[in-house]
């Protein structure tokens, strides 16, 4: 059963075209962060005009778009203006209000739709969806329990001891390690739920992790699906630090299962757009490990940024193609790559003051591609940019990545 929740598929919106009144083909996006910025760049490179709705006057995407509608996501006038300007509309983050997507979908094609974004916004619904399509996707999610009431908390403490040690996660608005507390026993579980404000949560059993990976899938209005090979990810303090994207980054059979599962999940949702599905590789006694689906993001993903420099079609190109109803090319990776996330910490010295990273030395390294997002203020943990390293072979990419990470003081490269 489809959860896409969008209007009928649009007629293709071709690059550089114009309507009878002379209005250029325009693609709209809710959200003005770095993902919106990279979508805008991809759309503009093809010849589309772009429109961004974001309340921040200095939003990275708004600063580079043809139109910046500076309003709140709930503002009816702003949404109406976005719909008037745009032939089709997407979103760059999953926490955009579902009501905004529903309102836009009354008059314009919106991808992904409100229903599927709503699933990704709520871990309870997301887990239920993964459980429902486990047979179809061929992988399961971690054992879990829903905690929304004191009675459910007591029931878990009394009857689900196998879930401890575990991770208590808020059902909504948790990302990059936020809204998550590790708990060892029933007493810590109760304290953590109180600390999180007694909001709806999911308790997940803590699994013996061997690795983490993600798969990017693009699905069109007509059901055509293409995907990238899985990338292996390293997180530090709950935030992505390094993405390894090259042949041999994980066992081939496991990579094939992850790719097939991600495609199945997108098909089961009736999804339109770019979808990222994240997986845990867990120690199940086998040499390669077992695969467990963790969560999904209904948008391009931080772990897919390497595609801008290592592939002939990036995740943002595919976001444009899917939204505009264009044929989807099967993306081809032409170079092995490692992506290093650049957080605000790179701009801060030991005393907390600002410093400028040594870009001269970093950019003198072969195969380095720097992407900064146009954010004026660096803060600890804030995503300011990324550095992708490409090269003719994996050994040289790893060597340059180690040197770049050393120059920038980056963590997460212990396995290189």
Query: Which residue numbers belong to the known binding site?
Result: 123, 169, 174-180, 204-207, 212, 235, 294-295
E strand or H helix at 302: none
Q: Residue 309 phi/psi, 5° resolution?
A: -115, -15
**DSSP 3-state assignment of 363?**
helix
In Å, the largest CA–CA distance within the chain is 67
Q: Point out the annotated binding site for ATP.
A: 123, 169, 174-180, 204-207, 212, 235, 294-295
Distance CA 396, CA 208 (A): 31
Residues 6 or more apart in contact with residue 32 via CB below 8 angstroms: 52, 53, 54, 56, 59, 60, 61, 62, 68, 92
User: For residue 41, which of 338, 304, 314 has the smallest C-alpha distance?
Assistant: 314
Burial 300-326 (b: 16+ CB within 10 A, else e): bbbbbbbbbbbbebbbbbbbbbbbbbb
Residues 6 or more apart in contact with residue 154 via CB below 8 angstroms: none
């Amino acid at each position: 059963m489809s959860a896409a929740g969008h209007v009928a598929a649009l007629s293709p919106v071709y690059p550089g075209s114009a309507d009878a009144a002379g209005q250029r083909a325009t693609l709209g996006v809710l959200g003005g962060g770095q993902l919106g910025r990279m979508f805008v760049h991809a759309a503009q490179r093809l010849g589309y005009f772009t429109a961004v709705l974001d309340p921040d006057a200095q939003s990275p995407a708004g600063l580079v778009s043809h139109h910046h509608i500076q309003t709140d996501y709930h503002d009816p006038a702003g949404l109406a203006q976005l719909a008037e300007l745009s032939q089709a509309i997407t979103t760059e983050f999953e926490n955009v209000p579902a009501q905004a997507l529903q309102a836009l979908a009354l008059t314009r094609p919106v991808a992904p739709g409100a229903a599927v974004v709503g699933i990704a916004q709520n871990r309870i619904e997301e887990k239920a969806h993964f459980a429902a399509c486990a047979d179809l996707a061929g992988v399961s999610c971690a054992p879990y329990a829903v905690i929304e009431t004191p009675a459910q908390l007591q029931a878990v403490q009394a009857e689900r001891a196998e879930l401890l040690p575990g991770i208590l996660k808020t059902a909504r608005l948790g990302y990059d390690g936020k809204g998550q507390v590790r708990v060892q026993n029933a007493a810590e579980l109760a304290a953590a739920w109180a600390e999180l404000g007694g909001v709806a949560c999911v308790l997940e059993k803590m699994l013996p992790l061997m690795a983490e990976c993600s798969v990017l899938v693009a699905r069109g209005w007509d059901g055509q699906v293409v995907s990238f090979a899985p990338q292996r990810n390293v997180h530090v303090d709950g935030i992505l630090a390094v993405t390894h994207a090259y042949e041999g980054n994980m066992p081939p059979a496991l990579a094939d299962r992850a790719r097939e599962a991600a495609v199945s999940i997108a098909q089961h949702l009736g999804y339109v757009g770019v979808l990222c599905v994240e997986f845990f590789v867990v120690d199940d006694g086998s040499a390669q490990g077992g695969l467990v689906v963790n969560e999904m993001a209904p948008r391009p993903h931080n772990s897919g940024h390497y595609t801008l420099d290592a592939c002939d079609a990036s995740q943002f190109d595919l976001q444009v193609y899917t939204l505009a109803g264009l044929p989807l090319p099967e993306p081809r990776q032409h170079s092995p790559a490692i992506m290093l996330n650049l957080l605000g910490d790179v701009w801060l010295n030991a005393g907390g003051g600002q410093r400028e990273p040594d870009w001269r030395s970093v950019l003198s390294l072969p195969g380095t591609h720097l992407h900064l997002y146009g954010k004026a203020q660096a803060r600890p943990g804030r995503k300011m940019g990324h550095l992708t390293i490409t090269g003719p072979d994996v050994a040289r990419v790893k060597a340059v990545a180690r040197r770049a990470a050393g120059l920038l003081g980056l963590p997460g490269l212990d396995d290189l």
